Structure 1
Amino acid sequence: MKTPVEVSDREETASRLLESSARKSYDPMVEVDWEAPIPADKFGLTPEWSTLYGTALWDEMTDEKKVELTKHEAASIASVGLWFEILLMQMLLKDIYGQDKHSRHVQFALTEVADECRHSVMFARAGERLGMPSYGPHPVIHKFGRIFGSTYRGANAYAGVMAAEEILDMMQRDFMKDERVQPLTRTVSKIHVLEEARHIRFAREEVARRLESAGWFRLQYERISTAASVYIIMKSLVRKGVYENVGLDPKRAKAEAKRNRHYKDTVRTSGSKLMQFLDSVGLVGGPTKHIYKRVNLL
């Protein structure tokens, strides 16, 4: 028996989130010191979140190489976040296109689009400031995104959005508190975490609300499409090119990352909140369990 998810009235939720947005929102162009120096000894992300942390290859690397690797990993993760923010904006705008623009629900959705637009610029500027390549998902996945953005509707759209945001959130909560990490990464992470808390709340309630009356066939479709979104996001976070650009043997690095028990355990532990929610609304079951296991969330 699934635990029912508490869902407030849609307009009440949107009103509270609009009030929160008015009280606490950030302009990254002002809040981030884009001219500050980039310390040579600071990691790009919390080292324990590196895909190679805990491997034999990691132990062989110099401190300088470890720092460089984590900067490239951070840039790759941010680029995937940027890609998904753009898809999110498309889906939100299409979802509210025919709805009453006087409603608080639509007004918060528009507020979220404005937030995501700023976040996209912030991620792009951060990668540029760190002097990193413009990563992003695999070209095939990038093309698939055009289909994803135009065809996902209802609960699966919000579930995919929520999952992407929570995956970034679970990492960035560690990045923003870690003094070993670049000040730029910490500030960007803090802004994203604080504003995404509202977006995640909005998406969670919308997923639960839209699944309340879902029949068996609809639920199976929602399960598969949501799991597919999560799989693609997790597999896209750190591109193979990261290892090549740092000067590592890409074949060995990818093989060690794939076997990395520490990374798998970190993802599983940090992603437990997301999986508990998905399970509570019936989005985990059948073949999707295998999909989530493939990306270390179960």
Structure 2
Amino acid sequence: MGDNAVSAPTAATLSGRESFAQRLLTGSVKKSYDPVVDMNWDAPLDPDKLFLPPELVSLYGTPLWEAMTPARRRELSREELANVLSVGIWFENLLNRLLLRELMAGDPTSRHAHYTLTEMGDECRHMMMFGKLIERIGTRPYWPNRFERWTISALQLFLRGSMMWVGALVGEEIFDALQRRTLDDPQLQPLVARAMRIHVTEEARHIGFARAALADRVPTMSKAELQYTRLCVAVAAPLFVYLMTNWHMYARAGIEKGRAARRLARANPHSRRALGLGAANLGAFLDTQGLMGPIGKRLWRRRGLL
């Protein structure tokens, strides 16, 4: 054997990071989905069922909600789902760009790199699934305004190292926790429930990957990186939550004063409680890693996330 030949590592010789990535790769082989073939896009929509469970609709429990007819509530749930899916598409687009950048400096033979590529493939299929679902439920996507587009594009400059994984967790865990509460809701459209189950199954691996990568990095952080990461943690989740309430979705649902409805939704204790439950596990994890500083706790509480 020549001097440059390198034998492939066995499972026993893989590092902890590589061993974990290998387990995720194995799990991906056993359970992954293709929305083109694993979703019945021709199935009829139920004319009486909602597109989000009522307690996850932003106006749930408000006087405006109580005054709505069942048909108007259904329409609002349809538009809110379209907005949530649109935010998901923006986020997964950004995440794939960040992951691709990481691969430029990584070892292309590593299990870590191979799982990164696998996750990117998952995210591409999720974006397709979300786009097809928006079309199938009979509405249109929501585009970020000019300021939001600038902010999303600028995030690529700031989400580096530890912050890339914080950003991944903010986008994945809050959405994932809310989805898990809807999977078996009898009021939910079956097609929507199926899409959420697929997303939850694959996102569980993505969340584990991001948590492990962040936990590995924390002990090596400099004091400056730690302070920077805490600052970014403080604003990341509130920004994500801000994007979840788009005034245009209220207007499309037939509510005349869309901006007033958005203000009502953001102050709605039911909506804040739902988001708080969605962010609970993420907040606890970031706190145990020492990444939730006093400013972060204050801002998260102000948005109802703690």
TM range (shorter): over 0.9
Q: Paired residue for 2:300?
A: 292
Q: Paired residue for 2:9?
A: none
AA of the residue aligned to 2:138? G
Question: 1:103-137, CA deviations, whole angstroms, 9 ceiling, x for partnerless residues?
Answer: 10000000000000000111111111111121143
Structure 2 distance, partners of 1:251, 1:144, is: 21
1:96-245 equivalence runs, <5 A? 96-245=103-252
Change (3 A) 1:137 1:280: farther
Match of 2:43 among 28, 36, 44: 36
Question: 1:138-179, CA deviations, whole angstroms, 9 ceiling, x for partnerless residues?
Answer: 331122211212442111111111111011101111222112
Q: Paired residue for 2:281?
A: 273
Using the TM superposition, name which of 266-275 and 65-74 deviates more.
266-275
Match of 1:256 among 256, 264, 267: 264
What SS class does the counterpart of residue 181 from structure 2 fall into?
Answer: helix
AA of the residue aligned to 2:59? L
Count of aligned pairs between the two proteins:
291
Match of 1:85 among 50, 69, 92: 92
What SS class does the counterpart of residue 212 from structure 1 fall into?
Answer: helix
AA of the residue aligned to 1:64? A
- Report percent identity of matched pairs: 38
Structure 2 distance, partners of 1:91, 1:267, is: 26
Unaligned runs of 5+ in 2: 1-14
AA of the residue aligned to 1:262? H
Q: Paired residue for 2:10?
A: none
Change (3 A) 1:228 1:136: farther
Superposition RMSD on alpha carbons, in Å? 1.3
Structure 2 distance, partners of 1:29, 1:267, is: 31
AA of the residue aligned to 1:273? N
> Is this contact kept in 1: 2:49–2:74, CA < 8 A?
yes
Structure 2 distance, partners of 1:100, 1:271, is: 33
TM-score by length of 2: 0.92
Shift of 1:12: 0.7
Unaligned runs of 5+ in 1: 1-7
AA of the residue aligned to 1:103? S
Q: Paired residue for 1:23?
A: 30
> Is this contact kept in 1: 2:234–2:295, CA < 8 A?
no
Structure 1 distance, partners of 2:205, 2:220, is: 25
Change (3 A) 1:152 1:255: closer
- Structure with more relative contact order (C-alpha pairs < 8 Å, separation 6 or more): 1
Structure 2 distance, partners of 1:172, 1:66, is: 19
Shift of 1:62: 0.2
> Is this contact kept in 2: 1:175–1:185, CA < 8 A?
no
AA of the residue aligned to 2:32? S
TM-score by length of 1: 0.94
Using the TM superposition, name which of 234-243 and 109-118 deviates more.
234-243
- Structure having the higher Rg: 2
